[in-house]
Structure 1
Amino acid sequence: MTDYFLPDDYVCNPPLKEHDGPYWTPRRIKSSSYFQYHVYQWARRLADEHRLHRIADIGCGPGTKLMNMFGTEFDVHGFDQPEAIEICRSRYDRGEFEVLDLDDVMACEEKVDIFDLVICADVIEHLEYPERLLEHIRRMSGRHTQILLSTPDRIRLNGTDVRSPNNKAHVREWTRDELQLFLQARGFSVVEAKFFPLMKRTLSVHACLEWWDVLLGKSSKSPCMMILCHADAVT
């Protein structure tokens, strides 16, 4: 059995079934530019500092932040479910967008091109088998690939007493230390970890509700974590 380094009394949520209708409504597409904004901001800084050119975004959604943050000088590739990829292909005349089933174990064995930077923003908490996601990331990564993962920090988001995700779309949530242990156990070396706000500061309803929770003491103003890591060589 896979050790996810969670408390012994932790209870995971069952994975959600597929949506009956479209998930990516116009409202969700618009709000996608706010959530995880700081992840892509850091990713762009990494790309500039290390001269990274080939960028992969696993769980790219409608591609809003990927395409806004990385211009024509970058070779961008987005991976997600069919609905999101169809939207990306219809919206952009550059970049490569491919359907990727993160539960497909066989696909983890397929050879793919190596990327300079792999972004995976707030995906891992939704998966029943996050170790499969990490294998997909590994096969896209070379010796010098920068890997940037993000996910909510359980305690900073909901407090110390929570033993199951309040968000029913989340199967499990880690603390920073727990996730670092899980990554290390799966063969990844952690370089740096940071905390960041849930979304870019705007006047949107989502942003206002987030800051209201902060004022009421229900959540930290930086409840999410970003972890920069490398995939260790398989021996």
Structure 2
Amino acid sequence: MIASHDTIINKELRKISHEYKGLKKFVDFGCGNGARTMIFAEFGREITGLDCDDYLLPEGKKHITFFKRNFLHSELQDNITDMVLCFDVVEHMEQPSALLQEIHRVMTSTGILILSTPNRNRLTSWPLLALGLKKYPARISKEFDQYPEYWHLTEYSEKQLHKLVEDNNFQVLEWKKIFYGLPGRKGVGSLRGLPLYHNHILILKKS
């Protein structure tokens, strides 16, 4: 299917939501405007969103219990949720391991973490990396020049991300390699796991 980056990503998240429809307590670490959080607002789930500020769209406010929180100190109880989404957050964190440890703390033993982050070696990055022209922290686009909090402090190759999650006591259940194309334009969802894909989407459990 040829479609936009957002369309393809949201389709994959919807598949995950349906595959794990028996999981009822959902927390989004980094819910943003709530658009992706709302994908999981089905099957009678209790939906909680955390972020550093309230960016929720009006529709999201109707369905999401929101808390303005530091991701490293969520103030949630231990073992309280069986489904966590952390989408495009870890690349912004100075302490990515601390983030994963906090998520690990609040998850039940049978819960899952859906972790997504840009592939360091995606189509738009690997030539720059190969030529030594891409450095970190890296701005997302010119419009974010004055907002370093939105810059990527690091990005992960498949090997680097695998080590990060294993070091923080997570086990990979599934590794989705999603979107071959240019964000803002169209591309295809998957190409049999070939390199240069844009998003890592991992489904993880506690190890």
Q: Counterpart amino acid of 1:181?
A: K
Choose from 156, 177, 183 the match for 2:122: 156
Residue pair 1:165, 1:171 contacting (<8 A) in 2 also: yes
Choose from 103, 125, 140 the match for 2:106: 140
TM-score w.r.t. length of structure 1: 0.65
Q: Distance in 1 between matches of 2:90 and 2:24?
A: 24
Are the structure 2 counterparts of residues 114 and 131 from structure 1 closer, same or farther at C-alpha, using a change threshold of 3 Å? Answer: same
Q: CA deviation at 1:100?
A: 1.9
Choose from 98, 115, 118 the match for 2:81: 115
Q: Counterpart amino acid of 1:135?
A: Q
Counterparts of residues 21-100 of structure 1 (less than 5 Å): 36-48=9-21, 51-71=22-42, 73-84=44-55, 87=56, 91-100=60-69
Residue pair 1:108, 1:139 contacting (<8 A) in 2 also: no
Choose from 171, 180, 189 the match for 2:162: 180
Q: Distance in 1 between matches of 2:49 and 2:180?
A: 22
TM-score w.r.t. length of structure 2: 0.73
Task: State the percentage of identical aligned residues.
Answer: 22
Q: Which runs of 5+ in 2 are unaligned?
A: 140-150, 188-194
Q: CA RMSD in A?
A: 3.1
Q: Counterpart amino acid of 2:70?
A: D
Q: CA deviation at 1:147?
A: 0.9
Q: Distance in 1 between matches of 2:47 and 2:5?
A: 18
- 1:170 and 2:152 correspond: yes
Q: Distance in 2 between matches of 1:190 and 1:34?
A: 25
Q: Counterpart amino acid of 2:23?
A: L
Q: Distance in 2 between matches of 1:156 and 1:183?
A: 20
Are the structure 2 counterparts of residues 113 and 166 from structure 1 closer, same or farther at C-alpha, using a change threshold of 3 Å? Answer: closer
Could you report, residue by residue, the CA deviation over 1:100-138 in whole angstroms, capped at 9, with x for unpaired residues?
Answer: 212x4xx37863452121110111001111111112211
Q: Distance in 2 between matches of 1:187 and 1:72?
A: 29
Would you tell me which structure has more helix in proportion to its own residues?
Answer: 1
Q: Which runs of 5+ in 1 are unaligned?
A: 1-30, 212-218
Q: Which residue of 2 aligns with 1:194?
A: 176
Would you tell me which structure has more strand in proportion to its own residues?
Answer: 2
Q: CA deviation at 1:89?
A: 7.2
Please state whether the residue corresponding to 1:155 is helix, strand or coil: coil
Please state whether the residue corresponding to 1:156 is helix, strand or coil: coil
Q: Distance in 2 between matches of 1:147 and 1:90?
A: 24
Q: CA deviation at 1:62?
A: 1.0
